[in-house]
């Protein structure tokens, strides 16, 4: 059986070869770290990732490892792009990155925090509160935990504004 690292038979994640996915995510790193490109280029590179779905035996240890590495890299890049837009006060554009992040990883608390911050900045308090409640419910049902202290403080700030 060929290994997942065999270059002559690239495995696919969705319809995209894993080398292209890792290359795109590496490109996002370079673009955001050293200013070697534009945020539009980083967005296009990050958009290559369509979820780490793998054909065949998805429980094989090597498959799980690669899938998790891709997911972790993608989560990091979405967060970086969202924060970039927040830093530029482009609240709607930042939220448009965080929201699909929540959809792809509903336990990623930092994405909810980003959406809540963006909604609060644009006066969409009800939507910010709804986002917090969705996070609280998800964490409670899936993991049996409460949101972090940082998220709870963010929630509290919605009432003091």
Query: What is the reported pLDDT for 141?
Result: 97
Tell me the mean pLDDT in the region 60-67: 66
Query: What is the reported pLDDT for 93?
Result: 93
DSSP state of 68: H
**Polymer length of the chain:** 161
Query: What is the reported pLDDT for 12?
Result: 35
Q: Does pLDDT of 15 surpass 60? A: no
Q: Which residue has the higher pLDDT, 154 or 62?
A: 154
The model's pLDDT over 118-149, given as tens digits with 9 standing for 90+, comes to 999 999 999 999 999 999 999 999 999 999 99
b vs e for 141-157, b when ≥16 Cβ sit within 10 Å of the residue's Cβ? Answer: eeeeeebeeebeebbee
Q: Does pLDDT of 83 surpass 90? A: yes
Mean pLDDT taken over the chain: 77
Query: What is the reported pLDDT for 77?
Result: 82
Please say whether the beta carbons of 58 and 70 come within 8 A. Answer: no
């Amino acid at each position: 059986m060929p290994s997942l690292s065999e270059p002559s038979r690239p495995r696919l994640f969705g319809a995209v070869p894993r080398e292209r996915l890792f290359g795109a995510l590496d490109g996002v790193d370079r673009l955001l770290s050293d200013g070697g490109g534009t945020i539009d280029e980083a967005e296009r590179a990050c958009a290559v990732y369509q979820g780490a779905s793998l054909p065949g035996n998805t429980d094989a240890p090597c498959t799980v490892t690669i899938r998790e590495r891709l997911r972790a890299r993608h989560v990091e890049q979405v967060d970086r792009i969202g924060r970039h837009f927040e830093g530029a006060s482009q609240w709607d554009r930042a939220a448009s990155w965080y929201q699909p992040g929540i959809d792809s990883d509903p336990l990623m608390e930092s994405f909810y925090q980003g959406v809540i911050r963006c909604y609060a900045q644009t006066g969409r308090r009800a939507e910010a509160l709804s986002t917090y409640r969705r996070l609280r419910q998800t964490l409670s049902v899936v993991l049996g935990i409460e949101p972090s202290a940082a998220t709870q403080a963010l929630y509290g700030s919605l009432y003091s504004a």
